[in-house]
Amino acid sequence: MLGSEAVDTLENEWLNKVEKKGWSAADVTKEPVTIQLSDEHLIIIIELMEKTKQKGLRLEDIKPHHFHEPLLEELMRSTRYALKEKIGFVIIRGLPVSTFSIDDIKRMYVGLSSYFGQPVSQSRFGDLVGENFVRAGDGRGGHRAGPLPLHNDPIEVLSLCCIRKAVSGGENTLVSSLKVWEIIEKTRPNYLPIFYRGFRVHLAGEQRPDQEDFTSEPVPIFSEKYGLRSCWMNVSSVELLAKARGDVMTDVEREAVRYLLSVIRSEELCISIQLEPGEMIYINNFEVMHSRLDFTESTDPENFRYLLRLWLQDTPSRPMIDQLNIHQNKSGLQGIDMQLD
């Protein structure tokens, strides 16, 4: 009988069938990676959503079998392939966000997204469907205006669903981390051991009571399992890294990180995408970094920029080293376990 590790290597969809390469901004545009929901798809999605209400299901009760339907299966098989084997992100267009309530939209979004994985908690409050809109007094990235630095989330698939755009700006920007790794290999291979070891990561107040506010072990920036490359970075400056480590970085480490950031931020690598209402983006988070540009809000708070967010963990999960389960949750899931306090 096969052990779970053998199943990983033989049957896990995440593993490359062909050698995967990173991409530059000039290689990628929005339309070729965008899939339009047809009227037939929408009829099915709405029917399945209505059934979840008739059955009295809560959002957390909605499972893949509730949205299992042959026509959807066919559509989602191709999007799963695009996410895992191609450039690492895909957009689905056409969710009817202006004609249904937010609760209905959340049901449709969670149901459709179940083809990519199960939603996991995004904070110690246990939120499975995050809401990105500006809230006074909340400093988290999704709840304040201003640009965000390029980073990765603690999850294998990140998704956003646009309900409303800002008056201007607010584009999502993406960079192929695999390309960053390839460039470092070619131009500064002497820095690679520093990135293979990585640095301790600040847990941003989401740690358990029995944890420090930094990971106990360094989190590698570049790592590999069964030949599958994963990249994870969530710092915006050398100074923040030094602070996170709680000690002094060596000159070579500072140089290496400064160089890494210069590659990540280069215009040749970064694409920006404006999500329109009804569009959902799915990002292969350990292969593609993301951020958001600054934006101008409407004067009417009812029309503020508003996106839903999911963190999705597939079954079987992406093969990766243990340190990439950043929060080392007791549940064994990715994301951030809910804490009862």
The answer to whether 75 touches 35, Cβ cutoff 8 Å, is yes
What one-character-per-residue DSSP string does 30-58 give? TGGGEEEPPHHHHHHHHHHHHHHHHTT--
How wide is the angle at C-alpha 84 spanned by C-alphas 81 and 90, nearest 5°? Answer: 75
The dihedral sign for the CA sequence 51, 56, 62, 64 = negative
Range in contact with Fe ion (rule: CB under 5 A) among 68-76, 153-161, 164-172, 189-197: 153-161
Give the β-pairing of 172-176 and 288-292: antiparallel
| Closer CB to Fe ion, 153 or 206, in the complex | 153
For the chain, give the number of residues.
Answer: 341
Residue showing the smallest CB distance to Fe ion in the complex: 153
- Report residue 92 as tokens: 């689905």
| Closer CB to Fe ion, 8 or 153, in the complex | 153
Range in contact with Fe ion (rule: CB under 5 A) among 94-102, 147-155, 237-245, 317-325: 147-155
The answer to whether 44 touches 38, Cβ cutoff 8 Å, is no
Quote the least distance from Cβ 152 to Fe ion, whole Å: 7
Q: What does the per-residue mask of binding to Fe ion show for 106-145, with x meaning CB under 5 A? A: ----------------------------------------
Q: Which of 219, 205, 154 is nearest to 339 (CA)?
A: 205
Quote the least distance from Cβ 123 to Fe ion, whole Å: 12
| Closer CB to Fe ion, 228 or 233, in the complex | 233
| Closer CB to Fe ion, 130 or 256, in the complex | 130
Residues 6+ apart with CB under 8 A from 311: 119, 120, 121, 122, 130, 153, 154, 155, 157, 158, 159, 334, 335
Site for Fe ion in 202-261 (CB under 5 A): none
Token look-up 């009829």 returns 43
Cα gap 296→274, rounded to integer Å: 14
Instruction: Answer yes or no whether residue 156 interacts with Fe ion by CB under 5 A.
Output: no
Quote the least distance from Cβ 290 to Fe ion, whole Å: 6
Instruction: Answer yes or no whether residue 171 interacts with Fe ion by CB under 5 A.
Output: no
| Closer CB to Fe ion, 52 or 234, in the complex | 234
Cα gap 305→165, rounded to integer Å: 5
| Closer CB to Fe ion, 269 or 283, in the complex | 283
Instruction: Answer yes or no whether residue 153 interacts with Fe ion by CB under 5 A.
Output: yes
Quote the least distance from Cβ 234 to Fe ion, whole Å: 8
Range in contact with Fe ion (rule: CB under 5 A) among 1-9, 149-157, 257-265, 297-305: 149-157
Quote the least distance from Cβ 151 to Fe ion, whole Å: 6
Contact positions toward Fe ion, by CB under 5 A? 153
